[in-house]
């Protein structure tokens, strides 16, 4: 069974040699996928960090973030279809929030497609609140473009999780 339980999830920092597998997962999860080279450029930027989980050598999920001073942004969060609804996305969010808080980030932002109700529910459950909207931000190959909802989560230095 590839689905992790929240109690046994191992989350580790993303390294450059992990990027091809992370890019492959990104391609499964997103219409506009990011290749390993782009992920590497993002990860090597000042203030950027990525965390991921794997099982039996296969990437199950990841989160990629960057900071600009006291604010940070979640650039991408993905979980393999076979590992969804296992608590992995929440574990990745908690780990990213903890890492961000330890580095002095006071709040995390992200954008999510307005029609992605599962992701919006997840983010709300983990303390994110709507602070804005970007009209027609997500362009779809088929169908109309979709608004992005901007979410924000305040962090505290006692956010749980270790990375």
Q: Which domains occur in the chain, in start order? A: 11-154 (3.40.630.30)
User: How large a percentage of the chain has pLDDT more than 90?
Assistant: 76
Predicted structure pTM score: 0.88
Helices and strands (H and E) in the chain: how many: 4, 7
Q: At residue 98, does pLDDT exceed 90?
A: yes
**pLDDT tens by residue, 109-136:** 999 999 999 999 999 999 999 999 999 8
Other beta carbons less than 10 A from residue 131's beta carbon: 12
Going from the C-alpha of 27 to that of each of 13, 22, 46, 88, the distances in angstroms are: 20, 9, 25, 18
Rounded to an integer, the average pLDDT of 71-92 is 95
């Amino acid at each position: 069974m590839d689905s992790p339980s929240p109690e046994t999830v191992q989350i580790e920092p993303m390294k450059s040699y992990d990027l091809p597998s992370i890019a492959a997962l990104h391609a499964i999860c997103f219409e506009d996928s990011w290749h390993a080279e782009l992920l590497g450029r993002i990860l090597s930027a000042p203030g950027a960090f990525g965390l991921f989980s794997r099982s039996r050598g296969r990437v199950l999920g990841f989160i990629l973030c960057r900071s600009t001073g006291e604010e940070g942004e979640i650039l991408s969060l993905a979980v393999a279809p076979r590992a969804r609804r296992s608590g992995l996305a929440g574990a990745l969010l908690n780990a990213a929030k903890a890492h961000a808080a330890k580095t002095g980030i006071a709040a995390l932002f992200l954008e999510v497609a307005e029609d992605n109700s599962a992701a919006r529910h997840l983010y709300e459950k983990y303390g994110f609140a709507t602070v804005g909207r970007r009209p027609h931000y997500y362009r779809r190959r088929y169908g109309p473009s979709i608004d992005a909802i901007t979410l924000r989560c305040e962090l505290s230095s006692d956010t749980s999780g270790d990375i």
